[in-house]
Structure 1
Amino acid sequence: MNRCFRATLFFSCLYIKTCFSQSLFSDIKYQLEAGTYFSSSKATPFWQRTNQYGIVPLQSPIITFRGAAHLEYDSTRNEQQKLKKFGIGYGLWGVVNIGNQSKVFLPESYIKIRYRTVELYGGRRREVIGLVDTTLTSGSYIWSGNALPIPKIQLSVPNYSQIGKSSFFFKLGISHGWFGNQRGVKNFFLHQKWVYGRLGREDAKFKFYAGFNHQVQWGGISENKDPSFSKDGQLAPYPWYSYQFVLIPFLQKLIKLNPDKLTTFDRGLAIGNHLGSADIGFEFDNKNVKLLFYKQQPYDFARSLYNFNNIEDGLYGLGINLKRHYYVKKILIEYLYTLSQGLYRFGKYQTSNYIENDDYFSHGQYTAWEYNHFIIGTPFILANESGINNNRIKAFSTSINGSLFKQTSYILGGTFSSNLGTYASKLSKKQFSGKANINYPLNNNTSLLGQVTLDIGTLYSKNIGFSLIYRKLL
């Protein structure tokens, strides 16, 4: 069964309801889209392709057709206002792009099962990880929705859940994923876990958030057969032995290692590429306004977290939700700074880092923190064929959304960035990228989505892009 046939079958099945009872389909939400992207040059502008889960190609023009079907959990409550113990849901999202980079693929294909507050899911699913304003953000540092979702199995408490009758709430999760074949390494894995807490009930005026996430690229078959780098090309020849050190990284410092089961490279620091962020946030909420401040603190070396060498680095955000305003409903200001990398603290050289820097999203065994040539985390960090080539960045972003006539909504946004390359290969490029989005409803179930994007600077060539999408909800 070729790709085109599978795509045709998928879109056709969205309309097939007569084969099943009406009650089975009553809660399923369908969505169909058709549209086009084009620009003044062959390159797709930054904000046209960024944080789109890898569905907008790097080259334009294209014509795109998309279809989705989602079943959410049953949200009805009993007389005691409690949800059912069990729930099941799924998501399918198919995309056909026709143009210079034609492609047929499923960015989303998953099934999920819930028992009380615990969820298990498998497949590809759109997600953003980290404490951030997900509606307007320029991109969460570690997992922004910039790349195609990675297939994985995940067990989690996805929503903040109360501990007893206290004012403390938590959410957490752990997952195992498959990177498949990427540049330099094939068939390697993703390990992922996180825990976030919130102090304050839903209706509290003040809330405090804190959390931590840990990501690992590990295992696989490398093109580098150097015996110190791999064992006959295998980066984790004994995966079950290696997994304990992936799950608990500091365990490698506490127990005696078996040199026959690990490469010299892995015995030196850690098995695989470990990275993530530690996040904090504060929220103030009253009848007129809701304010959210957050910081995502990146790390590649664990020592950067406990010695604060890279304390100035991170993604800073301030969200302002104006509850009583119509034309301007929300403003988000973000600042990304990654120049320190633990080598300098507020301009002072740090000898405690042993002349090493965190070198965000880079690694000696894996090309970059990317999937199918799209960066997984913040889209401002860039990679080429050799690996990360731009991770020393200052980027100021702002976004505004609101409503206009006839329920038309808009988003205006722009980013000014200074791109300084890496410590190993320096650059000096300035860039402005902007966007204007309009969602114009034709009726209750149909709308037109328009976008204009602009690139001006020395990082990307001068470019203006347009897109128009017709969306139908069924």
Structure 2
Amino acid sequence: TYNPGVSSFLIQQAYIGMKYRMIFISAGCRELTDEVVNFELSSGGLVWSGNTRPIPQVRAGFIDFVDIPFTKGWVQIKGELAYGKFMDNDFLRDHYNYYNQYITTDALYHHKSISFRSNPDKPFVVTIGAELAAQFGGTKRYYKEGVLIDSLTMKSPTRLKDFFKILFPSSGDGQSNKGDQAYYYGNHVGQWNLSAEYRFKNNSSVRGYFEWYYDDASGMGKFNGWDGLWGLEYKSGKKNWLSNVVLEYLDMTNQSGPLNWCPSDYNDPKLDIEATGADDYYNNYFYNGWAHYGLSNGTAMAKSLLYNTDGYMRYKHNRIRGVHLGASGYIAPEWKYKILASYRTSWGTTFLPLADTQHDMSGLIECVYSPIKLSGWSFSASLAGDWGELYGDKWGVAIGIRKSGILTIGK
């Protein structure tokens, strides 16, 4: 079973890669972030936030934005494609409550994104894009009162053609489970995104952005109201007392409405009108919640599976609203600070609503000392805490020492 203890040694990043001109390919575990938001100060992207451990994968794409031919630099493109594997089987087996329906292991991972950007040399720059990630493959096992029900075990196929089905979303065939046959093979999560930035002559800038999350076709068509992440960012362009500020609003309460009814799911239905709601963000009928090692792959504002004390491997708090503030700056040339503060309200889920709303306030204060005389070295101290019903009243202190670059001993 998965029982790391306090002395475990875990490799966070290990990868290799190569590039040719503007094309790259890499393989292994690497920390990745959402390119729309400010990774240091944001509450995190809605599809991939960097909140959890990296998923080992093979990735290929453009290193950065490149000019689209015949546009004379006015339109640029960037994109990537990846396949990988979730590595948290032991974690799931150890944390799962075997009286709770099902658990899915050996799931594979897929990700793709594409973005277009206007001329970055101009004061006003617009970026628009789309991102889609998926779980596929894996084996789903049902347990009843701690006993495996073999007859209900389902294995999702991972043939070569299934890799194309996940690349170009389409329905599963006769070897897939009934849900994949009726809808799409695998579990897909995605977002539309847009950002607009204006740079002033003094090198400061203001940027507005949003991410419109979707969990199925109804959300993709933006039938989920104001759901999404909405943000504003200010950069001073200098190392002064307020170098960067981020303000965000997150809404995940609409979920395309409270009802889901598909007449084709039933024989001789009395109601033939379709209602594609109750999206149940980050949850799926075949897979565990959209997480890795129990932590949310998407926004950390949604309470991760790791905090479920009853071993339930799905999200209990995905209908949420929240606000987030992040700021950083320099007290002195060698001293940098960071402040994060988040407030959220949860209604539970569409299928497991709370009797009353639950709230949480989270905060962090961090100070980093980077002495000029010790190149590459930095020393940090931070204080963080939670207050409210979602996580309880907790706080902690962290002290860190970091060395970047080549470590040499002697001359």
TM range (shorter): 0.7 to 0.9
* Cα distance, 1:278 vs structure 2: 0.9
| Counterpart position of 2:132 | 214
Partner of 2:176: 262
RMSD of the TM alignment (CA)?
2.5
Structure 1 residues 392 and 258, CA, compared in 2 at 3 Å: closer, same or farther?
closer
Measure the CA separation in 2 of the matches of 1:324 and 1:460.
37
Asked whether the 8 Å contact 1:322–1:329 carries over to 2, the reply is: yes
CA drift at 1:258:
4.3
Structure 1 SS opposite 2:181: helix
Find out whether 1:400 has 2:330 as its counterpart.
no
Deviations 1:171-209 (CA, angstroms, capped at 9, x unpaired): 101111011453322222111111011012x22111111
Find 2:370's aligned residue among 441, 448, 454. 441
How far off its partner does 1:431 sit? Answer: 1.1
Evaluate the alpha carbon distance shift between residue 422 and residue 394 of structure 1 in structure 2; reply closer, same or farther with a 3 A threshold: same
Distance in 2 of aligned mates of 1:173 and 1:406: 37
Please give the secondary structure, in 2, of the residue aligned with 1:105: coil
Q: Relative to structure 1, is the Cα distance of residues 452 and 352 closer, same or farther in structure 2, using a 3 angstrom cutoff?
A: farther
The reply to whether residue 422 of structure 1 matches residue 349 of structure 2 is yes
Contact 1:225 1:231 in 2 (8 A): no
Q: Distance in 1 between matches of 2:81 and 2:276?
A: 33
Give the 3-state SS of the residue equivalent to 2:86 in structure 1: strand
Q: SS of the counterpart of 1:194? A: strand
Residue by residue over 1:90-134, the C-alpha shift from the partner in whole angstroms, topping out at 9 and shown as x without a partner, is: xxxxxxx9xx64421111000010011010000000101342122
Q: Shift of residue 241 of structure 1?
A: 3.4
Say which of 52, 55, 74 aligns to 1:150. Answer: 55
1:175-190 alignment, distance < 5 Å: 175-182=82-89, 183=92, 184-190=103-109
Count of residue correspondences: 362
Distance 2:381 2:42 in 1: 19
Indicate conservation of the 8 Å contact 1:130/1:142, yes or no: no
> Are the aligned partners of 2:13 and 2:29 in contact in 1 as well (CA < 8 Å)?
yes
Equivalent residue letter for 2:134: V
1:465 aligns with 2:396: yes
SS of 2:65 mapped into structure 1: strand
Q: How far did 1:352 drift?
A: 7.7
Name the CA shift for 1:448/1:324 in 2 (closer, same or farther; >3 Å).
closer
Name which of 197, 211, 214 aligns with 1:283. 197
Shift of 1:135: 2.7
Do 1:330 and 1:402's aligned partners in 2 also have CA atoms closer than 8 Å?
Answer: yes
The 3-state SS of whatever aligns with 1:368 is: coil
1:297 matched to which residue of 2?
212
- Partners of 1:218 and 1:235 within 8 A in 2: no
State the Cα deviation string for residues 281-328 of structure 1 (Å, max 9, x = none): 10101223211111000011122222x211300011100011256111
Change (3 A) 1:102 1:248: same
Q: Residues 327, 417 of structure 1: CA spacing in aligned structure 2 closer, same or farther, 3 A cutoff?
A: same
Q: Once the two structures are aligned, what percentage of the paired residues are identical?
A: 23
Summarize the Cα distance change of 1:270–1:463 in structure 2 as closer, same or farther, 3 Å threshold.
same
Aligned residues of 1:321 and 1:330 also touching (Cα < 8 A): yes
Secondary structure (helix, strand or coil) at the match of 1:404 reads strand
1:450 aligns with 2:381: yes
2:115 paired with 1:196: yes
- Measure, in 2, the Cα distance between the counterparts of 1:311 and 1:453: 33
1:244 paired to 2:156: no
Residues 325, 353 of structure 1: alpha-carbon distance in 2 compared, 3 angstrom cutoff: farther
Equivalent residue runs for 1:223-238 within 5 Å: 223-224=141-142, 233-237=153-157
The answer to whether the 8 A contact 2:234-2:246 is kept is yes
2:33 is aligned to 128
Structure 2 unaligned blocks of 5 or more: 93-102, 260-271
- When residues 258 and 140 of structure 1 are mapped into structure 2, their CA distance, relative to the original with a 3 A threshold, is closer
Q: 1-side partners of 2:315 and 2:233: how far apart? A: 30
- Quote the residue 1:342 is aligned against: 256
How far the C-alpha of 1:225 sits from its partner, in A, is 9.5
TM-score (norm 2): 0.82
SS at match of 1:389: coil
- Structure 1 residue runs of 5 or longer lacking an equivalent are 1-56, 58-96, 346-350
The Cα shift of 1:447 comes to 2.3
| TM-score normalised over the length of structure 1 | 0.72
Quote how far apart the aligned CAs of 1:162 are.
Answer: 1.2
| Deviation, structure 1 residue 263 | 2.5
